[in-house]
Amino acid sequence: MKIVRSPLLVAILLLGCAGLCPAQSIDAFAGLNALTASQAVQNIPRLGGGLFPSAGANIFLGDIGIGGEVAFRGSQNNFQGTQFRPIYYDVNLVLDPIHINPAIVPELMVGIGAQSLRAYTGLTQCGTLSGCTTYASSNHLTAHVGVALKLYVIGHLFVRPEAHFYFIRHNFEFQTANSERFGVSIGYTLGGS
């Protein structure tokens, strides 16, 4: 038996089975964020600062869901002639434990992810599996904890203030073990009530 490996096919199957589960919904959102990170030494590159666009989605079955999000620095940061950009990916268990009223829904997130640091060297590097790139990357495992507050403004359209905390493993390039991301997203809920 062949195993299904297509993410699009898996998404279609999940949406097709959505009618079988009570109170299912899907949230899709995009936002703008700021990243902060403590830094004791001044002669190393700065991780925080800059504008971080983000996009993500959550699939809920009742008050419990699974979600994913990506946030990246919108412009490259310059440090001693090297341009770099941090990118954060995370996959989470998402909980809507308390419903204040139908228009205000808090979210709690806990999960894992990665911090990808891309240094743009100006040189093209080619690999058999990866193709050609103009950057070198360093990836670090992260633990992620987040909170958000969905405020429904019109129907299924919501504004979502949010805060994310990343605990970064072996982040030796920046000599900091954590970073924080704060922002606001705009999104839409498909399904639900």
pLDDT along the chain (193 residues), means of 10: 53 56 82 77 60 93 92 70 79 87 91 83 70 72 92 95 86 68 94 71
Domain count, the chain: 1
Any domain includes 130: no
**pLDDT at residue number 158:** 96
**pLDDT at residue number 1:** 42
Whether this model's pTM surpasses 0.85: no
DSSP secondary structure letters along 36-103 = E---S-TTS---S-SEEEEEEEEEEETTEEEEEEEEE-SS-EEETTEEEEEEEEEEEEEE----SBTT
Beta bridge partners of 190: 26
Any domain includes 132: no
**pLDDT at residue number 168:** 79
Structural domain of residue 60, as residue ranges?
30-78+89-112+143-166+174-191
Any domain includes 13: no
**pLDDT at residue number 186:** 97
Any domain includes 183: yes
Any domain includes 18: no
**pLDDT at residue number 44:** 55
**pLDDT at residue number 77:** 63
